[in-house]
Every structure is written in structure tokens, then in C-alpha cells.
A and B are shown apart, each in its own frame.
Chain A
């Protein structure tokens, strides 16, 4: 019985920590990321995850030719997060590594395309415990 109670306590603690991290992530997105979309209209989809150092996330997105787009990539305490825009053949069209790891960039295409936004959290190069944190990819659009 004691064993079950211990296991349950650990499970409950894990769930509480996970819920806490998600709530923290939401606050972070609302306060730090969403304002950077202005004057673009937010597409309303919350693409966020708690990532570890060395992890990657991807967003598949259709870029319509009659809209302009803003991509905002926010991370909470994970260092210089790289974001790249790739076409379906994997060709790199943009990387923020060339622009001082800026957390937003605007895009315009003359033909509608399915593109990938690839986000990479830098590896842990220290001897400290690997960090994890909230990473969010937000998309804004506006008519051309």
C-alpha cells in the first residue's frame, strides 16, 4: 500500500509540474511573443512545446501568395535558438543565424508554397545539467 501511495505521489507531482510548466509557457507566449506579431494578424494556433537543449521542432505551413507572413520564434532561457525556413526539397531559404539570431522575420512569396519552419535549440556545451524551456512558433499574416 505504501508503495502505491509513493508511486501515486510521484505521478501527481509529475502532472503538477507539467501543468505548471504549461501555464508558465502560456504566460510567456502571451507577454513576450504575441506582441511581436503586430501589425500582423495572429493565425490563432499555439505552436509551443517544452524543449530540451539539442531538441528540434518543426512547423509545416502554407504561405499563400496573396498574404505576407511574420514568423516569431520565442524561447525562454535556452540561448540562441536558430530558426530556418526550408522548402520541400530541404533547401534553406532563410536562417536567423545570419541575422544575429533575431526572434522574428517577415516573408513574402510570389507563389503559394508549403514551407517548413525548423527550430533548433542549441546543445548543452557546459557541464551543467541540461536545461529545458518553453519554445513557441507563432505565425502572423496580412493581406498584401
Chain B
């Protein structure tokens, strides 16, 4: 009988894991119904939906195509690391520090980059990501700091290994929050620069382009909104989405698709006209600042 009491909770735990997966699958199907405009019979067979967010490298490359000078005040201080003790806060700030590292790389700030490498190492340890999945790769970055071109590849590899390890170990939420943190930090850089006098039009356009990523991000976070920390952030992202929804975007319906069979490439020409007002931009900057403050503490 004693053995029964010992094994039953284990069995229930196993069932709970199975039920969680089932509930996640049902949620994904609900999301699919919400997202699909034209329903068709194939819908029933969609087994898995993935929502990808830009990686720290991609977001910084996308948002920081600018000649603005390096500004260390925009970065999250390494000293803040001590404040992060929950898995969610660590994951979010793993992303934040990753974007900070990429920002330093964009501006060739090697000493700052080394400091952020050290912080990221500590975060991976706190998140219990094994060394061969995270920190070892970071050692490679330290050895390659002089080789600028390889650094982005190595940073990407670091985040890919962490993502893979976390997903294999049923820590999908942690993996997702890393990307959310990176996106918030990237947007913080961009909106801070965009509201400065004489801000470049390109950076404003890049911010508007994030409209689609916000939609993806909210869909992704809805998968985990049973976690209070995630639910609180989702509320903030909903406010950001409201601003994006108010931005006037005009699509030209004449999409031209050209496929080059030899080069294995398809080019999609879909003209879009966007009108963002200075007020909308300021509101985005304010909301991004607020959400970032919540994340970095």
C-alpha cells in the first residue's frame, strides 16, 4: 500500500505532463482558427503551429541600420543581474543582454561586449543550461572577438543551442521569453533613437515593420498566459498592439512574385504604404520604455 502512495503521485505527474501537452495542442488549434482567414478542410490536420520571433542578432541588425553614435546608457547594466532570480526574469534578461551584446558588436565596442559575455555566461548558469549548450560557445566568442564577421554566427549558435536544450527539456516558455526579452531591448534601442530630433526615416520604418512581430509575439505569449508574469507582460504587449493597429498601413493588392529556379530564390514584390504620426511614435517609445523597465527591474 505504501508503494502505491509513492507511485501514484508519479503516475499522476506523468498524466499531468501528457495533459499539458494536450492542452497546448488544443490552444494551438484555437490560435490557428483565430489566425486563419479562409477556413478549409485541411485545417483539422494542422498538428503544430510555430511562432518565430527575430533572434537577438536579427532584431539588432534590422533595427540598428543607422549611423547613430554608440550610447552605453541605452544598455541594461550588468549589475542588475543580481536582481533576477526567477526563471522568467532570467530568461527575459538573457534576451535583453543578448541584444545588448549585439548592439556592442554593431559599434565594435569590444570591452563592453566582453562584459556582456560574462553576464550572459552567468545567466546561462543560473538558468541551469549546461555548459556545452551555452557557455562553451560563449568561450568561442571571447576567442573570436577580433573577428567581427564570425561573432554574429557564434551568438546565433549560442542562442540556438540554448533554445534547443530548453525545448527538449519541456522549458518552451523559457526559450520563448529569451526572444521576447531580445525583441523588447531591440525595440527600446530603436524607439529611443527614433524620437530624437533628426531621426532617420529608415529607423522609423523599421519600427513600423515590427507590427507583424507584435502579432506573432502575442500569439506566442498567449500559449503561456497561465503564468502570472507572462500574463502581466501580455497586457502590456496588447497596449503596444493597439498603437500598431492605429497606424495607417495601405497594401497594394498587386503582389508580384518572381521565382528564379536556377538560383533557388523567390522575390516577393508587395508594395506597402505606411503613415505613422509623431504622437504614435512617442506612444510606442513610452510603452516600450515601460515594458522594458518591468523586465529589467
- Check if A and B associate: yes
Interface residues of A (CB under 8 A from B): 1, 4-5, 7-8, 11, 15, 22-23, 26, 41-47, 49, 51-52, 54-67, 85, 87-91, 93-94, 98-99, 102, 104-114, 120, 137, 139, 141, 143
Kindly identify which residue among B55, B216, B265 contacts A105, using a CB–CB cutoff of 8 Å.
Answer: B265
**Contact status A46-B163, CB under 8 Å:** yes
Query: How far is it, in angstroms, between the C-alpha of A120 and the C-alpha of B240 when the chains are bound?
Result: 34
**Contact status B55-A8, CB under 8 Å:** no
What total of chain B residues lie within 8 Å of the partner, measured CB to CB? 63
Q: Which residue of B lies closest to A111 (CB)?
A: B272
Q: Which residues of B contact A105 (CB under 8 A)?
A: 264-266
Q: Which residues of A contact B37 (CB under 8 A)?
A: 88-90
Q: Which residues of B contact A110 (CB under 8 A)?
A: 267-271
Q: Which residue of B lies closest to A15 (CB)?
A: B14
Query: How far is it, in angstroms, between the C-alpha of A130 and the C-alpha of B72 when the chains are bound?
Result: 57
Query: How far is it, in angstroms, between the C-alpha of A139 and the C-alpha of B259 when the chains are bound?
Result: 19
**Contact status B47-A59, CB under 8 Å:** no
Interface string of B47-60 (1 = CB under 8 A from A): 11111111101100
Most buried by A among B4, B48, B259, B263: B48
**Contact status B259-A94, CB under 8 Å:** yes
A49-B47, A56-B47, A90-B38 known; A62 and B54 CB under 8 Å? yes
Kindly identify which residue among B11, B53, B61 contacts A7, using a CB–CB cutoff of 8 Å.
Answer: B11
Q: Apart from A44-B160, A46-B160, A112-B272, list 14 A-B contacts with CB within 8 A.
A: A11-B11, A43-B54, A49-B48, A56-B45, A62-B52, A63-B268, A64-B58, A64-B209, A66-B62, A88-B37, A99-B264, A104-B264, A110-B270, A114-B212
Interface string of B259-297 (1 = CB under 8 A from A): 101011111111110000000000000000000000000
Kindly identify which residue among A43, A51, A106 contacts B265, using a CB–CB cutoff of 8 Å.
Answer: A106
Q: Which residue of A lies closest to B40 (CB)?
A: A90
- Check B148 for interface membership: any CB of A closer than 8 A: no
Query: How far is it, in angstroms, between the C-alpha of A137 and the C-alpha of B36 when the chains are bound?
Result: 20
B70 to chain A, nearest CB (A): 19
Q: Which residues of A contact B271 (CB under 8 A)?
A: 110-111
- Check B122 for interface membership: any CB of A closer than 8 A: no
Query: How far is it, in angstroms, between the C-alpha of A128 and the C-alpha of B126 when the chains are bound?
Result: 48
A4 to chain B, nearest CB (A): 6
**Contact status A4-B4, CB under 8 Å:** yes
**Contact status A109-B268, CB under 8 Å:** yes
Q: Which residues of B contact A114 (CB under 8 A)?
A: 212, 215-216
A4-B8, A64-B209 known; A108 and B49 CB under 8 Å? no
**Contact status B48-A51, CB under 8 Å:** yes
Partner-contacting stretch, out of B85-93, B108-116, B151-159, B231-239: B151-159
Query: How far is it, in angstroms, between the C-alpha of A4 and the C-alpha of B54 when the chains are bound?
Result: 47
Q: Which 4 pairs across A and B sit closest by C-beta, in order of nearness?
A: A114-B212, A112-B209, A44-B160, A44-B159
